[in-house]
């Protein structure tokens, strides 16, 4: 791993996003539209389990919408150019880190918009700092898993279709863990109860990043 190279690649990702502001605007529009449609449909939710499930469904599709373009915006020429300049492990780690930062922002933005529109009726016992931390960890987990799936889909030449097919089964264990941990936080329970789910969540994140670092150089050679 080369920290300086990863730093330069992070700057490259930021510059590419600044040049493609329509992509970020589309993502923000998706979050706002999804939350507003849910508001029109249900107005207020008093059942904590329903509130939690609907939030994670919105965030899951926001993650697919945000991360699908990670490896899809490069043509063959740019891929060859990066191949001559960087180590593949540095590239995939830089994109995983950048996607994790992006998903942290998207997760907190979604939480803020969702709470503003839907409200928090019936969640008086909720531990919001713990819930916010779980949301951030869940967003980072989505970024780690979907970055790896996006790399596989891009090298297979199948675009976002293969990413959707492979992504959901691999995201499902992560989704179930964060939903359970966040449900306990909304019920006011502490880390002594939800701690095992957080450990499982951190383990999934770490294993996925390690697999990306190990497997992507083999994909890169093809």
Contact 186, 131 (CB under 8 A): yes
pLDDT of 56 reads 92
CA angle (199 as vertex; 205, 134 as ends), nearest 5: 75
Tracing tokens 């941990």 back to the chain, one arrives at 181
pLDDT of 78 reads 65
Contact 150, 163 (CB under 8 A): yes
Give pTM, 2 decimals. Answer: 0.86
Residues with Cβ < 8 Å from 144, sequence gap 6 or more?
Answer: 96, 99, 100, 204, 205, 208, 209, 212
Please list the pLDDT of the chain residue by residue as tens digits (222 residues).
Answer: 577 887 888 888 888 777 777 767 778 888 888 888 888 888 777 788 888 889 999 998 888 887 777 776 665 666 666 667 778 788 888 888 989 998 999 999 999 999 888 887 767 778 888 888 889 989 998 998 888 888 777 776 655 666 777 777 888 888 888 888 888 888 877 666 667 777 888 888 888 888 888 887 777 665
pLDDT of 77 reads 62
pLDDT of 55 reads 92
The domain spans of the chain are 3-221
């Amino acid at each position: 791993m080369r920290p300086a190279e990863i730093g330069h690649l992070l700057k490259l990702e930021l510059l590419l996003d600044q040049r493609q502001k329509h992509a970020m605007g589309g993502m923000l529009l998706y979050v706002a539209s999804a939350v507003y449609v849910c508001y029109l449909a249900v107005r207020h939710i008093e059942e904590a389990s329903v509130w939690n499930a609907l939030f994670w469904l919105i965030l899951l599709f926001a993650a697919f919408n945000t991360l699908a373009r990670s490896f899809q915006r490069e043509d063959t020429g740019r891929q060859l150019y990066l191949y001559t300049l960087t180590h593949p492990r540095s590239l995939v780690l830089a994109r995983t880190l950048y996607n994790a930062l992006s998903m942290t922002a998207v997760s907190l933005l979604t939480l803020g918009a969702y709470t503003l529109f839907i409200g928090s009726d019936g969640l008086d016992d909720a531990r919001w700092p713990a819930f916010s931390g779980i949301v951030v960890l869940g967003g980072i987990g989505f970024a780690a898993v979907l970055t790896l799936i996006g790399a596989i889909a891009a090298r297979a030449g199948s675009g976002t279709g293969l990413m959707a097919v492979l992504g959901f089964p691999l995201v499902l264990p992560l989704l179930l863990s964060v939903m359970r941990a966040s449900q306990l936080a909304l019920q006011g329970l502490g880390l002594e109860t939800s701690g095992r789910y957080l450990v499982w969540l951190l383990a999934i994140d770490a294993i996925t990043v390690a697999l990306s670092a190990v497997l992507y150089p083999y994909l890169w050679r093809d």
